[in-house]
Amino acid sequence: MVTSIDVPYLLSTRNYNNIVEALLPSDRIRKISGVSVVYLAVNSENRIVTKFSFIGTIFFLFWYILYFYCTYKAHSEDQTILRTIYNTKLKRYGDDFERIASIIYVTYSMWKVPFRMSGNQVFIQRIVDIDSAIENMGEAVDYNKNAKTALVISIAQLGDFLVRMFCIWLSLENLSVIVPTEKLYQVVYTDALSFVITSHYCFSLIVLRGRYKYINKVLSEIKTRSAWEYKVFVRNKVAPDLEKVQRLQDRIVCEKIKACARIYSMLYKATEAINRMYGTALVLTMLLYLVFIILYMFYFMEATASGLLYDIKKYVDFLICVFWQMSHALSIICANVYFSESITRETKNTSFVIHEIINSDFDSEVNTEAMRLSMQLLHEVPKFTANGLFELNNALLYETRGTTPGTPDRRVIEAIVNDSTSAVSGARSVFTYLVIVLQFVTDRA
């Protein structure tokens, strides 16, 4: 029996022993949403194990059976949302393409989300080991942040699903037309699944970024000599054997830098685990919504050019439907890029701090250890990619910035030379294919 969810109670500060316990408050919402057939638990040996959820399985079957029923119903009755407001020149081909693409995406997500992502045993085990190493350095890991973030994300998933359905339904009701309920559910549920995949990915990045911040905090305290080692040994300067005390302090600082190096290596392996887990899902998600942006931009431009804007009531309702799809697609792409970039910035801070330590007046032992960590950072550069096809960074969102006429931009040259920067043309691709579609439809007219 599913009980009510007491949000204030779940958001209250509690004592968690690990990341798995921090995910428990949002676990019930994930099961009700049907995105958690298997869940994670920690055994007596502090190892992550997967367990089967009966409640999660029931809701998983319910939501997916409902989706395929609505898809069949929408196809057999040729239900549409946009064409009830404006009869586009693509006619039913746009809806058919959107339906086929969403079926492929949902079928893949049906296996990926409730079984693989919810039971991401490898990544969570690495986080548990990393947290243990951080706590051995004397740092207390705040699991309440992770718990609140996971809960807010889970509530946001349900909120986005319900609010969007209500807005589109209300706009169609405003036109006094029969609301294609099955088509509405099919479209919104596909977008809800993409939101779930993006939320899983972004939450993993948030967890990882928090661990990088602990490393930077420890190194920053060493750089500013505000770590506890310096506070303790300052009081003992009157000791007769000051040189021995200094060597002991340097040895402890060196051990701390070594510990940071070990944890950084563990974080790098966790980064690779994220890339392996989410690579294919990110490729499909980014590709699907890039195509949707092109499709709905075409709808918008065609409807505006045809004079629909003179019918204010219809045009506003049309914009509501287009706005939801466009904004959802852009938010999915931008969220993936933003959180990937945020970790990259955090890892760069590690390099900045360690080089400041090297360039400061620390003893030779501390400088030697810092140099070793600096060499390690050169070889372990975290990158977030979608199956290696393209890197998730800001270059994915735009091509180049403005340049002085006649002066080649350095990034333009790099884009020509380096094949990996083909993803830089993301914005350009949208407009290129949009023009092709517009010309194709215009020629037919």
For 276-290, the DSSP string reads: HHHHHHHHHHHHHHH
Residue-level pLDDT at 227? 64
Are 35 and 161 within 8 A, CB to CB? Answer: no
- pLDDT, greater one: 120 or 270: 270
Report whether pLDDT(45) > 80. Answer: no
Question: What mean pLDDT is predicted for residues 103-126?
Answer: 90
Residue-level pLDDT at 285? 93
Question: What mean pLDDT is predicted for residues 341-370?
Answer: 89
User: At a CB cut-off of 8 Å and minimum separation 6, what does 230 contact?
Assistant: 249
Report whether pLDDT(400) > 50. Answer: no
- Report CA 228 to chain centroid distance, whole Å: 36
Residue-level pLDDT at 422? 41
The DSSP output letter for 52 is: E
Are 51 and 38 within 8 A, CB to CB? Answer: yes
Report whether pLDDT(402) > 50. Answer: no
Residue-level pLDDT at 187? 87
Q: What is the Rg, in whole angstroms, of the alpha carbon atoms belonging to the chain?
A: 26
- pLDDT, greater one: 57 or 422: 57
Report whether pLDDT(240) > 70. Answer: no
- pLDDT, greater one: 44 or 102: 102
Domain ranges of the chain: 7-397, 398-445
Residue-level pLDDT at 416? 34
Residue-level pLDDT at 232? 58
How high is the mean pLDDT of the chain? 80
Which region among 94-98, 191-195, 230-234 has the lowest average model confidence (pLDDT)? 230-234
Tokens representing residue 316 in the block: 């506003």
Report whether pLDDT(1) > 70. Answer: no
Which region among 29-33, 268-272, 426-430 has the lowest average model confidence (pLDDT)? 426-430
Residue-level pLDDT at 387? 83
Report whether pLDDT(75) > 90. Answer: no
Are 19 and 128 within 8 A, CB to CB? Answer: yes
In this prediction, residue 229 has a pLDDT band, given cuts at 50, 70 and 90, of low
Residue-level pLDDT at 417? 36
Are 389 and 419 within 8 A, CB to CB? Answer: no
Question: What mean pLDDT is predicted for residues 95-101?
Answer: 88
Report whether pLDDT(180) > 90. Answer: no
In this prediction, residue 441 has a pLDDT band, given cuts at 50, 70 and 90, of low
Q: How far is CA 263 from CA 84, 313, 339, 431, in A?
A: 57, 59, 21, 44
